[in-house]
Homo-oligomer: A and B are copies of this chain.
Amino acid sequence: MPSHDLPQDVSFQRQGHTELTAPPPLLTGEGGCPIRDVLDRIGDQWSLLVLAALEPETLRFNTLLRRIGDVSKQMLSRTLRRLEEDGFVHRTVYPEVPPRVEYRLTELGRSFLEPMRGLVRWADRHQAAVEAARAAYRARIGE
């Protein structure tokens, strides 16, 4: 049990209310929480990776499997079906033998990747800061 911080500056921590210019509420209590909406769609382990993989090119099932590398067939299958269901991905079956199935992004799926770039840019820019925070944490507690 790590003993974290002690109270440093109590008076400083008391926050008033955010009554005036309340920034856009990300977490809404009752009906339709936007963050939940996003999470329900792409909050699992694989959806984002699949979308990212399909971004530059249409891919077949097994290629996708190998491209991502550490996803199981079952999960890839399930993920693709959900993405198709939600309209992010289009599935084309060619009735050949052996079967050929191609997955490509829809316009909706493609449009989703746009705001994603913001997050990626963030990760890129703040990677060092996160590393530093981890090191500080280890020094403070893990050690």
Binding site for B on A (CB under 8 A): 3-15, 18, 22-29, 34-39, 41, 43, 45, 48-49, 51-53, 55-58, 66-70, 84-88, 90-95, 102, 104, 106, 108, 111-124, 126-127, 129-130, 132-134, 136-137
Contact partner, A115, options B11, B84, B91, B121, Cβ 8 Å: B121
Q: Which residue of B lies closest to A36 (CB)?
A: B49
Residues of B within 8 A of A118 (CB): 114-115, 118-119
Contact A93 B5 (CB under 8 A): yes
Q: How far is it, in angstroms, between the C-alpha of A66 and the C-alpha of B57 when the chains are bound?
A: 44
B108–A129 contact, CB under 8 A? yes
Q: How far is the CB of A42 from chain B (nearest CB, A)?
A: 9
Min CB distance A35 to B, Å, is: 5
> Contact: A108 with B120, CB < 8 Å?
no
Instruction: Assess whether A6 is in contact with B66, with CB atoms less than 8 Å apart.
Output: yes
* In contact, B119 and A55 (Cβ under 8 angstroms): no
Q: Please, which residues of chain B bring their CB within 8 A of the CB of A37?
A: 120, 123-124, 127
Contact partner, A26, options B23, B120, B129, Cβ 8 Å: B120
